[in-house]
Structure 1
Amino acid sequence: MKRTNHALVIGGTGMLAGVCVDLACEGYSVSVIGRTQLKFKGLQSGSPPNSIFPLITDCDGDAVFREIEKAIKERGPFNLIVSWTQNYSTLERICEMNIGDKPFRLFHIKGSRRYFEDEPIRIPSQCIYRKVFLGFVVEDVGSRWLTHEEIVNGVIKQITIDEAEGIIGQIHPYEARPIY
């Protein structure tokens, strides 16, 4: 299968691993930022051949930008970025580096607290910015945080429906959220 779409997933070896596999199965070349080679082996074994490309680095410092530059050079600009990072300045710079002739979508995954109080983010004009907030689930005996499976399914749904803002789980009433 010739892969013409290129996705970047920041935080893709943890709770967003299933998003990486889904995108790879949909025909994307998926560049994934993660910290250790070991976690990439599971991602690659669950995906079509030559679809997952590890960028082994923290999301801080110049190493991440070298890896991004290399990924863009090898597979072209990103059509889609899915990011679970609190480092907005790094995310802004990654978006600025993603120069192409077509718009791209950024799905910025955020914790529920950011729904109520968030920092601004600067994005280039060719970026279609989407916010996805992770909430919680209220059950008979109280509340709990979302499972990785619920997060993955919710993020995939948000990518599919492509709305400006989405919530996975619930955010209200905020005082019903689980205690850490």
Structure 2
Amino acid sequence: MNSNGHALVIGGTGMLAGVCIDLAFKGYSVSVIGRTLPKFKRLQVESPPNSIFPLITDYDTDDVFDEINKAMRERGPFDLIISWTPNYSVLERICGMNHEAKSFRLFHVKGSRRYFEDDPIHIPSQCNYRKVFLGFVMEDSGSRWLTHDEIAHGVIKQIATDDKEGIIGQIHPYEARPG
């Protein structure tokens, strides 16, 4: 196990790839859920050796729970979970599986719509729950969605500040969102 503990990143081969690499350089063993092996190669090439561990599965299948159990057996309970998944029941179950952790932090990355209308999530008492909302950027020519790099840098900042809620970009005025 690396010095900072064990992190799980759900959706870590796309817009959260930079978060995985950052955590690896900070000393975490990073288990990453993704669907295809080729995307993991970039993470592994850009990270320190033996720091990125692929869990090749879709988070919406029961296979994900087998992969999670295997990762926890090999590297211990999760100290940190970063999730980009709209499936709250899967995320609740994953957090519940992390019962051996005395405490852990969950950074739940969500789209801007969830800021205004969200479903409840039920998490274990040892979980320190954090929300990170993704907004948009206003420019001279209108608005645009955040880039993967902007999202990754924003999530990294949220992990560092450990605020209970954060917004990357802006969510107001809502009607200015890109079409």
TM-score class, shorter-chain normalisation, is: over 0.9
Equivalent pairs, count: 179
Matched to 1:146, the amino acid is L
2:144 maps to 1:166: no
SS of alignment partner, residue 170 of structure 1:
coil
SS of alignment partner, residue 100 of structure 2:
coil
Matched to 1:144, the amino acid is R
Q: Is the 8 A contact 2:60 2:90 kept in 1?
A: yes
Matched to 2:104, the amino acid is F
Matched to 1:45, the amino acid is V
What's 1:20 paired with? 20
Q: Is the 8 A contact 2:78 2:101 kept in 1?
A: no
What's the CA shift string for 1:26-57, capped at 9, x where partnerless? Answer: 00000000000110011100000000000000
Return the offset for 1:3. 3.2
What's 1:175 paired with? 175
2:144 maps to 1:144: yes
**Equivalences for residues 17-166 of structure 1 within 5 A:** 17-166=17-166
Give the 3 Å change call, closer, same or farther, for CA 2–95 of structure 1 in structure 2. closer
1:100 and 1:24 map into 2 onto residues whose CA distance is 22
Q: Is the 8 A contact 2:108 2:129 kept in 1?
A: yes
TM-score, normalised by the number of residues in structure 2: 0.98
1:114 and 1:81 map into 2 onto residues whose CA distance is 19
Matched to 2:150, the amino acid is E
Return the offset for 1:100. 2.0
Return the offset for 1:99. 1.4
Q: Is the 8 A contact 2:79 2:101 kept in 1?
A: no
1:92 and 1:163 map into 2 onto residues whose CA distance is 21
- TM-align CA RMSD: 1.0
What residue ranges of structure 2 are gaps of 5+ in the alignment?
A: none
Structure 1 vs Structure 2: percent identity of aligned residues? 77
TM-score, normalised by the number of residues in structure 1: 0.97
Matched to 1:49, the amino acid is P
Matched to 1:164, the amino acid is K
State the 4+ residue runs in structure 1 displaced beyond 4 angstroms: none
Q: Is the 8 A contact 2:33 2:57 kept in 1?
A: yes
Return the offset for 1:4. 4.5
Return the offset for 1:10. 0.1
